[in-house]
Chain A
Amino acid sequence: MSKSIIRVEALHKSYVNGKNSLHVLKGLDMNIQEGEMVSIMGSSGSGKSTLLNVLGILDNYDAGSYHLDGIHITRMNETKAARYRNQYIGFVFQSFNLISFKNAVENVALPLYYQGVSRKKRNDLALEYLGRMGLRDWAHHLPSELSGGQKQRLAIARALISKPKMILADEPTGALDSQTSREVMDLLKEVNQTGIAMIIVTHENEIAAQTRRIIRLRDGIIESDEENAAFQHESSAAFLS
């Protein structure tokens, strides 16, 4: 029986803007096991970005509880939050969010810098991960010299290098063409097979269809949370074609 990596109970979050208060998350319950691949779907305004922020310890919540790998995540100081992020979570963003004046190796090695790993070790490990992504030859190139797919692979390498327990991906294929999207999704699935939980926030059905479980959000509550019926078909379809 695998452990729960994310356990959310009665989660509430509001954004306060002066006198107005916007209640975005209205009591969510969610349980994600280690090694699961889940997509979170919803139209804009459904609260999916907010949920992602809370899960990624990038923002606080107002009521309920959130346990990450058994650790109760409460309002904590930024230093502690940064440390947890660094240890448990890898991020993949739609717009890649690479540092433009650092080359590929430096970008990938950055999480290790914040773990206090020595320069040589960092860079060696970064090169290894780049190799796994097929980007070894581009090690000293700047992000501006890479294609969209390469950049996202770089970002994934960066997300993996700190050996996180889960990856939070926010529209990872949003800026990529369909071919490249497929490649990236395959990569994410491979990563997931190694036991790292994968949580993908998306509004595209095709992307969600490639995950085993889909959680749908609407107006701040979970509308549905079910096994992806299309999942088996999708993979077998790919297998067949």
Chain B
Amino acid sequence: MLDYLEEILSTLKQNKLRAIMTGFSVAWGIFMLIILLGSGKGLQNGMEFNLRNIAQNAIQIWPGRTSLEHEGLTKGRRVQFTNEDVELLQREVSGIEDLTGRLYLWSEVPITYKSEYSNYTVTCITPAFYRIQRQNLIKGRFINENDQRESRKVLVLSQSIVDNLFKDEDPIGQYVKLGGIHFKVIGVSASPTDKDAKDALIPLSTGQRVFNGSHNVSNLAMTTAYQTVEANKQVENSVREFLAKRHRFSSEDQEALYVWNTMDSVKQSQGAFNGLRIFIWVVGIMTIVAGIVGVSNIMIILVKERTKELGIRKALGASPWSVVQLVLSESLFITALAGFVGMLLGMGVLHGATLILSKVYEGNPMIRNVFYNPSADFGVALSAAIVLVVAGLLAGFIPARKAASIKPIEALHDE
């Protein structure tokens, strides 16, 4: 082993510049690969960070207009969800874990506190909502079953609204006028993703009663008990069938309902990121291939230059295999060393980027939703290493064959 190393090093020392320039292209290829992969991961992490507050397996459904005639009824009918839908859905369709109906009021409603007021969108929900779309509780409490049952006039505001209306005052227990009616503020919330979100939430029953929503519900949101795409799709279809029967539209009608299944978008973006990752690998490998061709080129020249030496070795008893080993181990050595350097530099740059980014997050947290923790994990480094070994062997293949086929007599009389 030591012999090998000695042999290789002495040959390389002969022409350091050439060895360095050869290794450069491989190092560069690996460097680019690591950077690109890390960045890809960063983008993916950002997206996942962005989605993590919405339950992975949530399905949201909005009513639309029918586009097909069905059971004698014309198309163009508006579909309207009601409380009954919610009740029956929960009872009849299996696989639904949490279910809430939401009611959006027609337009923005003025909320007034003392002399401050502004218009906000008010949403009427049931307590199940909090299990479907996570909120952070800053103060007080969320809307609960009692509020819903007794149609209490209570209100949960997001922090940004509180900042506007109450400034530094504690809003809990205070009364505001919502559309002219007094509501008590019972809680302050914040969205984990959007710090400027302005949510004003009141119980669904209250909204229906006070603002004349009767039994109507604007949309349905639910989580399922399942994690797989197929199972979720099943639930989605069951829900669709159920609603189609109740509201008498065809279950094939694509416009009667708008369904947003978060599983779908998660899978889609995962698919997109997988595609990105494959693309990056392809680009990275092509760069490395260019590097290999460079190494191979240099090795061929090297073999040519060493014709005499190789001829001598053969005359002294070197088998073709030992000559091949000589050439291959040299090209392997160069590629491995160069690749290692490239890998170190790549991971170093990524690490540095992570450090810089964490400073940036403090000033601008939204960036975290886009680009987060770019890193090349160990698996990536390992795959890169394997690519390198293969690359080194490939690069040395042709020159090694040339070396092995040198005829000693020709080499020795090569003057």
Binding site for B on A (CB under 8 A): 49, 53, 56, 58-59, 78-79, 82-83, 85-87, 91, 93, 95, 97-102, 110-111, 113-115, 119, 158, 162
Contact = CB atoms under 8 A, between A and B. Distances in A.
26 contacts: A58-B315, A58-B407, A58-B412, A78-B319, A82-B318, A82-B319, A82-B320, A83-B317, A85-B316, A85-B317, A86-B317, A87-B317, A93-B412, A95-B415, A97-B312, A97-B315, A97-B412, A99-B309, A99-B313, A101-B10, A110-B313, A113-B3, A114-B313, A114-B316, A114-B319, A119-B2
Interface in B389-415: 404, 407-409, 412-413, 415
Contacts of A59: 407, 409
B317 A115 contact: yes
Contacts, number: 64
B14 interface: yes
Contact of A58 (B2, B11, B319, B408): B408
Contacts of A93: 412
**Which residue, A58, A59, A110, has most C-beta atoms of chain B within 10 A?**
A58
Contact of A111 (B2, B316, B319): B316
Nearest to B319: A79
A53 B10 CA distance: 30
Nearest to B318: A114
A83 B312 contact: no
A97 B314 CA distance: 12
Sorted from nearest, which 8 A-B pairs have the closest CB atoms? A86-B317, A114-B317, A79-B319, A58-B409, A82-B319, A78-B320, A111-B316, A53-B409
Contacts of A115: 317
Contacts of A58: 315, 407-409, 412
Contact of A56 (B308, B315, B415): B315
B320 A79 contact: yes
A119 B316 contact: no
Contact of A97 (B308, B321, B404, B407): B308
B15 to A, nearest CB: 11
A79 B321 contact: yes
B244 to A, nearest CB: 79
B29 to A, nearest CB: 30
Contacts of B3: 113, 119
A154 to B, nearest CB: 13
Contacts of B315: 56, 58, 85, 91, 97
Contacts of B309: 99-100
Nearest to A159: B316
Contacts of B317: 82-83, 85-87, 111, 114-115, 162
Contacts of A99: 309, 312-313
Nearest to A95: B415
A110 B7 CA distance: 12
B268 interface: no
B322 interface: yes
Contacts of B412: 58, 93, 97
A98 B11 CA distance: 15
A119 B1 CA distance: 11
Nearest to A98: B312
**Which residue, B316, B404, B409, has most C-beta atoms of chain A within 10 A?**
B316
Contacts of B311: 97
A86 B316 contact: yes
Nearest to B412: A97
Given A110-B313, A119-B2, A101 B11 contact: yes
Nearest to B11: A101
Nearest to B2: A119
Contacts of A86: 316-317
Contacts of B409: 53, 58-59
Contacts of B308: 97
A188 to B, nearest CB: 18
Contacts of A95: 415
A110 B313 CA distance: 8
Contacts of B407: 58-59
Interface string B1-32: 01100000011001000000000000000000
Contacts of A78: 314, 319-320, 404
Given A58-B408, A58-B409, A95-B415, A83 B313 contact: no
Nearest to B415: A95
Interface in B140-185: none
Contacts of A91: 315-316
A114 B322 contact: yes
Contacts of A162: 317
A53 to B, nearest CB: 5
A39 to B, nearest CB: 20
